[in-house]
Structure 1
Amino acid sequence: MSITLMTDKYELTMIQAALEHGTAHRTSVFEVFTRRLPSWRRYGVVAGTGRFLEHLDTFRFTSADIDFLHKDGALRDTTLDYFKEYQFTGNISGYAEGEVYFPHSPVLTVEGTFAECVLLETLLLSILNHDSAVASGASRMTSAAHGRPCLEMGSRRAHEDAAVAAARAAIVAGFTGTSNLEAGRKYGIPTIGTSAHAFTLLHDTEEEAFAAQVKSLGTGTTLLVDTYDVTQGVETAIKVAGTSLGAVRLDSGDLGLQAEAVREQLDSLGAHNTKIIVTSDLDEYAIASLASAPVDGYGVGTKLVTGSGAPTSSMVYKLVAREDGNGTMQSVAKASTSKSSVGGRKTGARLVLDETAREEIVLVADSTTADAWLASRPEYRRLEERFVTGGTIDTRWTGKDGLARAAARHSASRAELSPHAGRLQSGELAMDTTVITLENTTTSN
């Protein structure tokens, strides 16, 4: 299926006007960033870069797309001829997927002609805004879990395509499995799932249902024990599966109190190695509240796939530099009071001392000048990676390997943050960001 028309019409009409005016092929630099984070988040997580690159690889106008645009009537034939030949030939760089970010971090930089860059706005933002929102919430959840596994179970609470994307974003932020089979097939994510309450209700007795499941899936399965009475359910589970039962799942009630009682009951029955998995509208706050409970894993659904209170990352895509009529690059910026931006190409870096990130800086300079500045300051970790060069995609950032790379990057990036970054209550960002224009003008955000 072509995704090229899953975009905003104004991108195409801008290109038509620019083509006719002779400015469409001016070299331009666009930047993805956010002006703010939700008050309760101390950092964001970049996610979706790999998915964007996979779509960019096939981002072409089909004959059916061109036919629709012709019938729509807003574009002239000369403009449609441009779209028939469209292919991105520029450069894309930015923060590695999985990296943490802050307001005004230059998350992604797109360089090329105005026409080829502006056409990517909706594709880029729709992916990064969704995936980064899910990953940012997921990171708080895995942080609150303190090493206990978190499992993604939100497919039934999202659009079918968004469910796959959300599962991938959750893995970036430290989740270890998903219930979504397509996410498992496409990205190699371990898949999980056994049975729902409907399976127990189907059978004449709970014991009959458990016996059928164990016969089919083995004693290592997870039995859902709260369809009727939890205490009786646990007793029946061990009666059927024996003390080698893999796990029991709790999906309702006071999960903390129930987990305490179930752990005691399992141990009294000799099932010391049977784990307790909890589900039921969990979020980072619920997970944190269960820190002292004998819980072995968390299944998270609705709150995860909807960004846990922030379903978008509020990222924007702005032109920050462009070629003038004489062929000279000029910084440009929107000057609106509440939606201002900083012009010029930017490079992000992070001051790391004693393995702890102390400050993020954003250098406003061309690549050569930024490279020279960072080369003399080894205490700063450069955040910018190159994803596309001359239209050629670096496939290390895509597919299953790209997802594994992103998850590893997030683990390392979060480990650099100070301990207060994991606090769930509203407060200051995990670190300050300073914008440095290398003509000796410095402002703090």
Structure 2
Amino acid sequence: MRESKQVEFKAQWNDEHLKTICAFANSEGGIIYIGVDDKGNPIGTTNIDKLLEDIPNKILSKLGVIADVDVEMLKGQEVIKIKVEKSEVPISYDGKFYIRTGSTIQQLSGNELVRFMLKKQRISWDSLPSEAGIDEVDIETIERFKRMAKKRLPEISDEDSIEKILKNLELIKEDKLTNAGLLLFGKKPQKYIHGAGARVGRFKTPTIILDTVDVSGNLFKQLDGLMEAIKKHLNVRFEIKGIEREDIWDYPLEAIREAVINALIHRDYLSLADIQIKIFDDKIWFYNPGKLPEEITIEMLKQDHASIPRNRHIAYVFFLAGLIEKWGSGTKRMVELCKEAGLPEPEFKEEGGFVVEFYKDIYTEEYLAKLGLNERQIRAVMYVKEKGRITNKEYQEICSVSKATATRDLTELVNMGIFSICGVGKRTLHYILMNQK
């Protein structure tokens, strides 16, 4: 045995262990063994009969928790096993709240404690009343929402009052706008909710900033402002398809818009950090101060997955407005749109918050390595990006390999859809990047 997130060893009982029991109850539950050293070796304990009576009573009186306390034989030694179930309500020890992180105990305070209490009580932060009254509502945004929501909310009427709409959407509580109501329809939510803004920067390098745009206002206005700030720094060309002209941007705008909406809906508004969007020559980096729910993994984001919105009232209003199709589909849609545009799949990461990265160039060394190309093949792709083409002989020379190896490597690149074959016969046969054809 060894210690883990849900197992802890104690050589002997001490009332301070109630803190560990509190942390287990507030997390996923766990087991404490009394009479086992920190290396997992059973050493036994004394006064077992008294402990079997005292420990459950102390747990109940101090924590209000009923734990399963029993004797277990480990390698010939009698030890006490305390099994703690996950509690559905917050548990405190001497007025303080603890959770289990890895094999350590963390005391909660500040916004972390607020998040914990809301989660335990199944309360969405955006449903709580704010300090703003209905006079803080931006009439223009409400009127815009009426127009946008008619398809999914046919009962909405142009004659409906602001108060009626907000009440129907559960965005008023105790005569105050809820946090969601303020963020969605407020004139200036940042007056009440600090850090509820966003920032777009154009970067030449991680330290050289060419332009910065701060975007504030309610979430509908932030969506517009962020998209305009991003488009300002993207290239666009056009293609004629049939008789229609189609604008082709560096990145599919629908995917970028999905990423912006995802950040606005799912960010942690208890954090003072802004949404940050950094535009580089070859990529766009989105940062949203809000980690994924425990039930959702990074791998699940590229597939159909359940939606567990942090701010469910905000998500619902965006759905009614037609800004999202269905909950849980946004990240998968980003992937599909990038693949359709011939770009690498966006990367999703957790780095202090939630990060999405879009790449302009599919032929980067990092991305090619992820596809499984060997170093020679990556070198050849970089060569073709610079020179425009490569022959079998050139491949042999730059990679110092035999003709057979060069042929095998090049054939793999063709089969993977990275290279195309051009020309006929030994003298004219060469390879180019697929999207150059």
**TM-score band, normalised by the shorter chain?**
under 0.3
Which TM-score applies when normalising by structure 2? 0.23
Q: Which has the higher contact order (CA 8 A, sep 6+)?
A: 1
Given the two structures, how large is their TM-score scaled by the length of structure 1? 0.23
Max radius of gyration: which structure?
A: 2
